[in-house]
Amino acid sequence: MLVISTAYEFLSLITFTLGLCIATLAALKSFTRISPLSNRVEPIYIAILALTVSLWSFMPIFRNNMALSSLWQWISLLVLVISISWYTIFVCNRIMPLESKYHRILWVAVILLVIAYGGLLITSGDNLFWNLSALLAAGLILAVDAALLLITAYRIKNTLYKLAAFSLAALAVSYTGGLWQPSTYWHIISLAGLIIYVIMMSLAALNNSYMRSMEYMNQKVEEVRQELAAQNENIEDVVITLARTIDAKDKYTEGHIERVSQYAVFLGERLGLSDRSLETLRIGALIHDLGKVGIDLNILNKPGELTAEEFEQIRLHPILGQQICSPLKSLQEVSDIIRYHHEKLDGSGYPDGLKGDQISLHVRIVAIADIFDALTTERAYRRALTVEEALNIMKAEAAQGKLDSYLLTEFEALLYDLGVAS
Ligand SMILES: [Fe+2]
Ligand SMILES: [Fe+2]
């Protein structure tokens, strides 16, 4: 029957049970992958590590209950030291892949000590001197592992690895300390060191796996975002190309949309608008006359005055333009510019007769740029007006409450700054 009579045996039982639990959980974790980035290897290493810790802590509990050979004890210690060294090197190598000279020296030292330790175990038999030497070698290997892990933990400022390194150091000290003064305290320290090491390394592995999954998710989100942005750009490009084609067909207005777009963006910049607003102005101005695609070319290019009926057709272009863009989500922000660029602040504009605050800042800016460019370029029924003549007409409109007088003042100052007006 199992007898737990000392604190050492009690701690052994806890270590044994916790080791088994961690091994089971780690084995299960290796079967559930959140993302292709979470690897299956690390949980398996953790499972092996936790199992060997269980194996090692298993002995004090059963020592008095079963006759365990010294060979069994030595083998379980060898397996424990190898699995700790293996996993520590695996972790350190992943974080700092043999980049520093010290790292390489420690790496080689661990491998040589493991070989020496194994050799000592095989040859020692029941010889006390060789047995103690083997125990010393085990302590040294763990000390080197602890140093390696500590350097890595400080390099990446990881508290879990730091705690694991300190508990590994405690384990190494307890092995060598137990050589010159064997006592239960050293055994308790070694068990506590072991269990803390395994718990910290498992938590760190879990955290790494979570971080990698988050990285993967973020990467995917960014990919989808870029793909959507590229699609939006494609749609915008198509619409802008269409607008340029329409613009080119109208012999009186060629280059109109490019100039309106430039003036609108310059005015927006002068007013300190955000990058997003400037982009809305740029695209909105480029496609504001898109609806002209639905107007008879003969009417658009007709020399002389238009009849009332023909003018009615032209007045439809803001509505047509908005209807063309309405299914395109990426163009929703510019839709107001297309529909309302012929509205006047006093409600005398078209197509909806909006008034005052119903007309947004973007629309007012494009309207001013649009009117100015229309006045300063030649039309079938009149010559191109000079900048001063155009500004005078626009000021008269502002005085009648049709145009935003503040924006017009800023626009005039802009024209002076650009050297367009003098
Ligand atoms: Fe227009
Ligand atoms: Fe226009």
Nearest to 365 by CA among 302, 295, 278, 287: 278
Tell me the CA–centroid distance for residue 244 and ligand 1, in Å.
14
Tell me the CA–centroid distance for residue 257 and ligand 2, in Å.
7
pLDDT band at 127; cut points 50, 70, 90: low
pLDDT band at 139; cut points 50, 70, 90: confident
User: What's the token pair of residue 105?
Assistant: 């020296």
- Can you tell me the mean pLDDT for 27-55? 77
The answer to whether residue 121 scores a pLDDT higher than 70 is: no
Residues in a beta bridge with 382: 379
Angstrom distance (rounded) from CA 314 to CA 342: 11
Amino acid at 377: T
Tell me the CA–centroid distance for residue 70 and ligand 1, in Å.
97
pLDDT given for residue 370 in this prediction: 95
pLDDT band at 116; cut points 50, 70, 90: confident
Tell me the CA–centroid distance for residue 370 and ligand 2, in Å.
5
Give the tens place of pLDDT for each residue, 58-85: 776 665 555 455 666 777 777 888 888 8
Domain ranges of the chain: 7-220, 250-418
Supply the pTM of this predicted model: 0.56
- Could you please state the CATH topology (level 3) that the domain comprising 250-418 is classified under: Hypothetical protein af1432 (1.10.3210)
Angstrom distance (rounded) from CA 413 to CA 234: 36
pLDDT given for residue 137 in this prediction: 79
User: What's the token pair of residue 119?
Assistant: 């050799």
Instruction: Give the whole-number percent of the chain exceeding pLDDT 70.
Output: 87
Tell me the CA–centroid distance for residue 135 and ligand 2, in Å.
90
The answer to whether residue 304 scores a pLDDT higher than 60 is: yes
Tell me the CA–centroid distance for residue 289 and ligand 1, in Å.
5
- Can you tell me the mean pLDDT for 146-160? 89
pLDDT given for residue 324 in this prediction: 85
Tell me the CA–centroid distance for residue 318 and ligand 1, in Å.
7
Assess whether the previous peptide bond of 43 is cis (omega < 30° from 0). Answer: no
Average pLDDT, the chain: 83
CATH class of 7-220: mainly alpha
Residues with CB under 5 A from ligand 1 (ion): 289
